Amino acid sequence: MLPTNRSRPQPRPGRSWSFSEMDFSDPKRKPRYLSKILMVALLTAMCVVMLTQPPCHRRSPSVFSIHEPGVTHVLVTGGAGYIGSHAALRLLKDSFRVTIVDNLSRGNIGAIKVLQSLFPEPGRLQFIYADLGDPKAVNRIFAENAFDAVMHFAAVAYVGESTLEPLRYYHNITGNTLVVLEAMAAHSVKTLIYSSTCATYGEPEKMPITEETPQFPINPYGKAKKMAEDIILDFSKSKKSDMAVMILRYFNVIGSDPKGRLGEAPRPELREHGRISGACFDAALGVIPGLKVKGTDYETADGTCIRDYIDVTDLVDAHVKALNKAERGKVGIYNVGTGKGRSVKEFVEACKKATGVDIKVDYYPRRPGDYAEVYSDPARINRELNWTAQHTDLQESLRVAWTWQKKHNSGYGPPQAMIL
């Protein structure tokens, strides 16, 4: 307590106190008051600095958020899926930096785990669980990462399912592509490799299909993909874009990683809509009692559909070559196929030989939205990208895929198997 013989001046009524009006007549108290003042000022300044800085400025930036000379950072949408995971594997092998975005609705976390185990080094691969239908999430991903290019695979992709759920296909394919394109424009990402499909051509009058073949898709899957293509092409023509765009229209995909690290693992509930190779393997494994071939009255040599089967290894090679050849302000459109059509009956016989199982085959009416004959003319991609399909032995591609399937008869396991 202060001595009673010392009086302190009283503040005037109605006025607030300020530090300058306080009585510091006791020399012993002055250092204590000054230290408090300095401490308060210092803490206030620190709080202001911390609160006004974005969170990313408070920690060391991720290598994924920095454009590094000599390193190309590729966003692979749908990279947990069949084709996307194989593409990510090839990109990583070729020393690209890769970010995978996938909502795991069709992809599988097991594929991500395989890629992470193969490329554990910091700055090589990151996985982001997100839905491309969420514009805010997509914009945040682009804001927090320094992408140099986008390889856009993410899409639902079953012709039969698209006729049952057309709105889902338009949202997932066309709508989500628009979201990705808007994020690219907002964050100045100038290179897009778009994974499209031969389904945009529909059922052409002439074979083989060239890039100039008119596009008249006959199912929602093909229509949604064509709409997405149109959006990309319209934006690429605008003065603001200055984009490098490559659109690859590929045909029926088969096969798997030759070293057995990745494969195709569709959801069990989607087997009836899936690729014929998956159905053949399910029949060979005894998962289903037999193979259902839909349509035997097409105007083809044996009455079944004719398709151009492209090995997934060749397909991702075409995507990487397209990425390496992409030029700002230019658009490239390419068919990716072998140039040779095979009937469904031919495919089934090759599958029987590849698996060594005499698969039971049942024949049913045509599937809605299917077309009789589709195969490519790959002359343009051969000429301009120096790409040619290397894995053209149908039975061998099926044998490689069968090797993976036998070891993974339940796929990679459920997506809940790993918590990120």
Query: Over the stretch 241-283, which tens digit does the pLDDT of each residue have?
Result: 899 999 999 999 999 999 999 999 877 666 666 788 888 998 9
* pLDDT for residue 265: 86
Handedness of CA 21, 27, 33, 35 (dihedral sign): positive
Is the pLDDT score of 13 beyond 60? no
SS3 360: coil
Closest CA to 191 of 322, 19, 65, 367: 322
Is the pLDDT score of 359 beyond 50? yes
pLDDT band at 371 (very low <50, low <70, confident <90, very high): confident
SS3 389: coil
Beta strands per DSSP E along 229-330 = 244-250, 252-254, 291-294, 306-307, 309-311
pLDDT, greater one: 377 or 55: 377
pLDDT band at 120 (very low <50, low <70, confident <90, very high): very high
pTM assigned to the model:
0.83
Cβ pair 53, 71 in contact under 8 A: no
pLDDT band at 404 (very low <50, low <70, confident <90, very high): very high
Is the pLDDT score of 23 beyond 80? no
For residue 363, count CB atoms less than 10 angstroms from its CB and return exposed for 0-12, middle for 13-18, buried for 19 or more: middle
Q: Which residues belong to the active site?
A: 221
Residue-range domain boundaries for the chain: 69-415
Q: Which residues contact 102 (CB under 8 A, 6 or more apart)?
A: 77, 78, 79, 80, 81, 84, 112, 127, 129, 130, 154
Q: Does domain 69-415 have CATH number 3.40.50.720?
A: yes
* pLDDT for residue 2: 40
* pLDDT for residue 318: 98
C-alpha span between 190 and 74 (Å, rounded)? 11
Q: Which helix (DSSP H) or strand (DSSP E) does residue 400 occupy?
A: helix 394-407
Averaged pLDDT, 334-348 = 96
Residue 150 main-chain phi, psi, to 5 deg: -125, 130
Averaged pLDDT, 347-366 = 95
* pLDDT for residue 419: 33
* pLDDT for residue 27: 44
